[in-house]
Amino acid sequence: ARQRALESGSAQLVSITLEVEFLDPLAVLESIWERTEWHAYFENVAEDFAFAGAEAVTMAEFRGANRCEEAKAWAQQLLENCIESGDSEHVLGGPQIMIGMTFADESPANSDFAPLSAWVPRWQVLRTGDQTLAVANACIEPDTDIEAVSERILKAHRRFSGFAYSETNAETPSLNRFQKSESSKEAYTSGVASAVRDIRDGKFEKIVLARSEQFTSPTDLSPIGPLSKMRESFWGCHCFAFGNNRGKSFIGATPEILFEKEQGQVHTQALAGSISRAPNAQKDADLGSQLLHSAKDRHEHELVRKAIVKRLKSLGLEVAPSRSPKLLKLKNIQHLNTPIHGTLPPDVSFWDILKTLHPTPAVGGSPREITGKVLHQYETLDRSLYAGAVGMMNRQGDGKMYVAIRSVSVTQRCLEFFAGAGIVAGSDPLKEWDETQLKMNAMRDIFA
């Protein structure tokens, strides 16, 4: 690798993959997590899949309307200058590129995350079924001290061969001990009412309005304890964390994927329309029936489904016919859900899909070209990664992106909870406020 770097003048990425005995990626992340290092975590207990990565060996940030195209070029060059070793023939082996994409393609100067952050972890642990892969990545420059890099990787190999989890203090403090910043119900419902008027005037069809609530902690916080509780509480959801090197970690348990690209196929979903759950089976079934037959919610859902299908077809995809929406029942809420599948043309990349689908009307609005420009008229917060997309892409250009909702931002002494609601012509401002409360409760319960 160093010889290649000398000859080409370009840094080389070395990736070493080894199959190891069972490891829990979240426990490994807990053991090596540092507040000032990049980190990422994805897990779905129901799918028996988990991944964790920490410390960036190389990373880049992209801004503006062309952020996906620029990231695509960066990733392509990176993977072209990659040397793999070990059990690299495994489809999930080799370097994974971590991706965090904010809701908007521009962000305020003081925002915690760039519009698109892409990086490769120094350490990766991936578990699927009964197989665990440990991956070490290193960036080799012409003047890299190879002996020092080799020793660090060998030391990690010895540790991962018989991983001894260290004692940590990753407990989740009770929210009762936090100081809450008041959230303005009047401001949010006023924004909803204004949006409803504009929808009825024909300015757009749907817009998603978000809000947040902040809590200050009396003690230092870590994202690991809440993540552990999330995966136990929301085993059917996709738990995630995406953290920067400045002490902020954006974590959550999302019910929604933006898309998955795998071997020429793309899988996504329309998820819109919500109602609460009930502990009594008959009442819960009645609530589900109300949702399935709600004209307002079916309309909101159909706007999302049509927009996703239209965007996929614009890429030349063959999209399988969609069936009527079904209920997706989660711990405290149920949604209308329609899975969507398509076959990819050979020239359509992961980054092409990402740019085309994000943001969907489920988190932004419809038409996207209009609502994206007027959103600031109805909400005042910096969404950052909320309603953005987080995920990873492998060396084959396959991967999965998750919609970053049901989420909370964690810093050393602060929590910020986010939630949004889809606004259409039949929306009631007070009911939309209640819906955001219901969605926030899922995260607040983690800190109960």
Residues noted as catalytic:
206, 256
Entry field: residues in the chain: 448
Half-sphere exposure of 129 (CA within 13 A, CB side): 3
Q: Which helix (H) or strand (E) holds 239?
A: strand 238-243
- The candidate with the shortest Cα–Cα distance to 357, out of 423, 264, 266, is 266
Phi, psi of 49 (to 5 degrees): -130, 135
Amino acid at 239: C
- At position 385, the amino acid (one-letter code) is L
Q: Of 177, 137, 163, 135, whose CA–CA distance to 21 is shortest? A: 163
DSSP 181: P
Q: Indicate the SS3 state at residue 160.
A: helix
Instruction: Look up residue 130 and give its DSSP letter.
Output: T
The token pair at 336 is 């209308």
Q: Which residue has the tokens 């259409």?
A: 424
Q: Is residue 208 within 8 Å of 364, Cβ to Cβ?
A: yes
